[in-house]
Chain A
Amino acid sequence: MTQVYQGEINFRRFLDEQGTPVAELPIWASQPEILQSYYRNMVLARQLDTKIIALQRTGQMGTYPSMLGAEAIDAVSGGLMLPEDVLVPYYRNHLLQIIRGAEILDVLNYWGGDERGNASSGYGEDFPNAVPIATQSLHATGVATAFKIRGEKRVAVSFCGDGATSKGDFLEALNVAGAWQLPVVFFVNNNQWAISVPRSIQCGAETLAQKGLAAGIRSEQVDGNDVIAIHEAMADALKHARDGKGATMIEAISYRLSDHTTADDATRYRHNDELKAAWQKEPVKRLQNYLAANGWWDEIQEQAWLNEVQQIIQAQVDTYLAMDTQPVESMFDYLYAEVPKALQEQRASASIKAMTGGSHHE
């Protein structure tokens, strides 16, 4: 018997749980600017997350999926993707959308139940959030196919969680990306939980990244709480795609420090000890320790940035809370490029119903 295939998955980490280097750092990490930029965005994410959850708890926001624990992934990806690349997000990439040009107001509107949250020109050609799991992985392959057909050196970058890797859509996306050598990056935020289902019973494979190997694409694991590791993995993946060499799958090992959404109560299925242990590894403190150890961040800078961030967020929240609801006709006006004749009567009926004292049957 001869062995016809043997694969390996490498794991990248540069900073340990305390933010101490455990490997030789890349040259760019010896300068503070990039890391400080990542840190500022991660703090912004954490403050915004806290604010949105408070809005939800007071009835001013819809059901919301927290990004707590995923800040490093979005901060780095947002720093490395080029404007002409296309982001195909999942429903936890709020920071990444903001870094790429969306307003905080757009995020508030989307989770506040207003389609205008997806409409901002700040998104460019980026996709809106996908709620059905893993369906967006395939959209990224279509975007990448368009890039390849047109000979453009752009990359489609798609995000999903560990649960999504169990779905056919994800595996079908890997498969076609491998078969066609598409310029796409599949970034899996393996945060250990798909609502209440832990990673251990999500999939029998030792790593999720192996699924990329089965599709013939380069695949690796990174520490999802280590910005330097994520930076290296993402930069390599983007270059690989831009150079015409095809797709990459990155499995980032992180932890969902929040409930699944504001409608979920993780204490029903998750031990507090596990959560406490995960907090010891979290990305914001880890990077703060590293910056502080190098003299690149201190308490004065921290307080100044916190104050600034809170003012930015509050201004956007004030705008959000003051927004008028969309006109009822908007339900009809964007369904097709032009309102079909068959819908015009319903549109008129909806207008009447929306008036004070209006009725559906007038």
Chain B
Amino acid sequence: MSNETHNVTMVEAINLALMSEMQKDESVIILGEDVGTNGGVFRATVDLRETFGIKRVLDTPLAENMIAGLSIGMATQGLRPVAEIQFMGFIFPTMEQLICHAARIRNRTRGRLSCPLVIRAPFGGGIHAPEHHSESTEALLSHIPGIRVVIPSSPARAYGLLLAAIRNPDPVVFLEPKRIYRLSAQPVEDNGQALPLDTCFTLREGKDITLVSWGAMIKETLEAADALKQQNIECEVIDVACMNPLDHDTILSSVAKTGRCIVIHEAPKSCAVGAEISATIAERALLSLKAPVQRVTGYDTVMPYYKLEQQYMPNTADILAAVQTTLEFS
């Protein structure tokens, strides 16, 4: 931790957070495939091995399930493993370990053992990656009691939320929207300050409609809010940031103010986090609503290969169209 301000992209902010926390806490251990000499396939762990040595930055054999199970064993011993799964499509082999053990060890032992691990994985579409590299399966993980699912939407958010994830005494899956890994740089002060988990961030206040999103789709959501501002429509923009446990209060109080809500995400529509948010609004804020909650999402299909991925993913025009429908509802 240097307290210097760095103009960094999201992936550089992740590296900055790892570097900062490893200096502060020697129990933090990085592990995964290619994280050492290669610095990670996206370079999120670059220079860490040179700085902290081979006992703290471990290149593992190629087995994602093993990485998860190994991390659990390490975590119960008081280490804070931060494991990289190269792409979210490869996180599926880890699910048994995450569901059956990481999520349950504290509960199973009534607090005798705990499991403070972080699994980092790039996720989402938009970078012309091969099959199994572009899915947004945050809802699968969010459904598991005991697992936190955290998704940053900017370099500063990535820095602060990753520090919080590493310091958290329970397992956190930290999903990194790779489409915006290098989209833009932002000044981030390396001050070691974590952001709160389990809370949404209100990025923009407005009285006419609430736009709820997270990760890379925040980019299109803010673009839509900018465009609507030109039409004197003021959007409240909420970055969910933590999918589970979900901060209902921020969303519900915003909907109480605006009476209109659109949830925007890349993931398929059905049984997704957006469905959970919509259902909660229906349960708890129905009488505040002036229009039905709309969802702007990916299709309930397999994520297509890259030549069709832009067709799959929601865009700014889709959000504007949904806003129009919502505002015109009567």
Contacts and interface: CB of A to CB of B under 8 A. Distances in A.
B326 interface: no
Given A119-B112, A342-B245, A142 B61 contact: no
Contacts of A192: none
Most buried by A among B58, B66, B78, B106: B66
Contact of A175 (B63, B101, B107): B63
Interface stretch (B67-75, B150-158, B233-241, B298-306): B67-75
Nearest to A326: B110
Nearest to B74: A142
B107 A139 contact: no
A125 B73 CA distance: 11
Interface string B44-87: 00000000000110101101011011111111111101000000
Interface string A138-171: 1111111111010000001000000000001100
Contact of B78 (A128, A146, A179, A341): A146
A116 B71 CA distance: 25
Nearest to B73: A142
Contacts of A334: 106-107, 109-111
Contacts of B96: 132, 135
Given A138-B65, A337-B170, A132 B100 contact: yes
B56 to A, nearest CB: 8
Most buried by B among A127, A146, A336: A336
Interface string B97-136: 1001100011111111110000000000000000000000
A168 B111 contact: no
Most buried by B among A120, A132, A146: A146
Given A118-B110, A342-B246, A135 B73 contact: no
Contacts of B55: 149
Interface in A168-186: 168-169, 172-173, 175-176, 179
B145 interface: yes
Contact of B97 (A118, A119, A135): A135
Nearest to A339: B245
A154 to B, nearest CB: 10
B219 interface: no
Contact of A141 (B73, B145, B198, B245): B73
B328 interface: no
Contact of A115 (B73, B110, B113, B168): B110
Contacts of B114: 337
A330 interface: yes
Contacts of B170: 336-337
A175 B145 CA distance: 31
Nearest to B249: A341
Q: Classify the secondary structure of A's interface with B.
A: helix
B72 A340 contact: no
A122 to B, nearest CB: 10
A31 B56 CA distance: 46
Contacts of A146: 73-74, 77-79
A343 interface: yes
Most buried by A among B61, B70, B75, B114: B70
Interface string B247-286: 1110000000000000000000000000000000000000
A4 interface: no
Given A341-B247, A343-B245, A128 B74 contact: no
Interface of B: 29, 55-56, 58, 60-61, 63, 65-66, 68-79, 81, 96-97, 100-101, 105-114, 145-146, 168-170, 198, 245-249
24 contacts: A115-B108, A119-B109, A119-B111, A128-B108, A135-B97, A144-B73, A145-B58, A149-B29, A149-B55, A172-B66, A172-B69, A175-B63, A176-B63, A334-B109, A334-B111, A335-B145, A335-B146, A336-B245, A337-B106, A337-B169, A340-B198, A340-B245, A342-B247, A343-B245
